[in-house]
Amino acid sequence: MHDLAQQIVSGLAQGSIFASLALALVLIYRAMGIINFAQGELAMFTTYIAWQLTQMGLPIWLAFAATVVVAFAGGVALERIVIRPVERANQLTVVIVTLGLFISINGLAGWFWGYIVKAFPTPFPTTPLQLGGVAFSAQDVGVIVVSVITLGLISLFFQKTKLGLAMRAAALYPEQSRVLGIRVGWMLALGWGLASAVGAISGIMIAPVVFLDPNMMQSVLVYAFAAAVLGGIESPVGAVVGGLVLGVVINLLGTYVEAIGNELRLAAALAIIVVVLLVRPAGLFGHVTVQRV
């Protein structure tokens, strides 16, 4: 029983990381109808920046904050420089451009920091927390807390601030928003910045567990895809719920089902993606889109 509780908390911790990256994907999908294949690599790259800052002697939390700011600026810059020119192009073009980002960011990380796996300092205490007689890893609990705060802030931003409202309007009704004086292009760039910042948090949260290497986020990205698809790719709430459900399910399957084990967790995520897309393409929280032809 204690074991089950630990596994669930650890699943929630992983799930909240999937949820953060899935939220980043959803933010961009809602704004532009684009799946950003480079989202995971952006998170990886910014995590390396955080590592570099701690190597230069910055305390981990300060490095964390600085990295989120850098990630935001980087996301805005990428949207302006790379995505803007192909914004109105067809889907294949945009997919290939984000794949181009994926590969070049992966390569740059290997260029700057090499391909040798590095340990990443955990920002949380290493002693387990005792809650109700069960020992939980402080890392797991800390990750959940940080993710809840992040998601809460994002939600407040979109619901309660004028800028958040403008960003939502720009995503849903770009033409009308432009008429009302909203600078739609900049709203999209801000969306990329936010997504990249949220992704950076997910990278820093998972790096102490999976260690730092240029390919660390690839499987996390697949889990985030699964989470986003499960929740409905247009729904931020769906991404969060999808991420948490996926984290717990994958963790329990991997631990208790012999046939799946550690290696087929990714395959389980793939199966979830395919089954959801076939059975209920809108996911748990999405709306079915009707297309006029």
Partner 1 sequence: MPRPNAGLLTRVAIAVAVIALLPWVVPSFLVFDLIYVASYAIAILGLIILTGMNGQISLGHGAFMALGGYVVAVLAHSAGWPYWIGVPLAAIASGVAGLLIGLVALRLAGVYLALATFSLAVATPSFLKHYKSITGGFDGMSLQPVQAPAGVPLSGQQWLYYVAWAVAGVVFLLSALLVRGQFGRALRALRDNPIAAVSFGVNPYFYKTAAFGWSAVLAGIAGGFYAIPTAYVSPDTFTSALSITLLIGAVLGGISTFWGALVGGIVVEFLPLVAQQINAAAPSVVYGVALILVMMFLPDGIVGGLLRLTYRFRRAPPQPALESSTPSAAPVTVGPQSRE
- Residue ranges in contact with partner 1 by CB under 8 A: 33-35, 37, 82, 85-86, 89-93, 95-97, 99-111, 115, 214, 218-219, 221-222, 225-226, 229, 261, 263-267, 269-270, 273-274, 277-278, 281, 289, 291, 293
Q: Which is nearer to partner 1, 76 or 94 (CB)?
A: 94
* 224, 15 contact by CB (below 8 A): no
Torsion of CA 269, 210, 45, 68, to 10 degrees: 90
Distance of closest approach, residue 100 Cβ to partner 1, in angstroms: 3
Between 49 and 141, name the residue whose CB sits nearer to partner 1.
Answer: 49
Q: How far is the CB of 202 from partner 1 (least distance, A)?
A: 17
State the nearest-atom distance from the C-beta of 57 to partner 1, in Å.
Answer: 26
CA dihedral 265, 145, 30, 196 (to 10 degrees): -90
DSSP secondary structure letters along 204-273: HHHHHHH-B-TTTTHHHHHHHHHHHHHH-TT-HHHHHHHHHHHHHHHHHHHHH-TTTTTTTHHHHHHHHH
Residue 103 Cβ vs partner 1, minimum distance, rounded to whole Å: 4
Tell me how far, at minimum, the Cβ of 122 lies from partner 1, in Å. Answer: 26
CB of 127 to partner 1, least distance (A): 33
Q: Whose Cβ is closer to partner 1: residue 142's or residue 199's?
A: 199
- Residue 49 to residue 69: CA distance in whole angstroms: 11
In terms of CB distance, is 101 or 141 closer to partner 1?
A: 101
- Is the separation of the CB atoms in 56 and 42 below 8 Å? no
Q: What are 19's two structure tokens?
A: 């949820």
SS3 136: strand
- If the CB atoms of residues 179 and 290 are measured against partner 1, the closer one turns out to be 290
Q: Which is nearer to partner 1, 38 or 141 (CB)?
A: 38
* Cα 273 from Cα 168, distance rounded (Å): 27
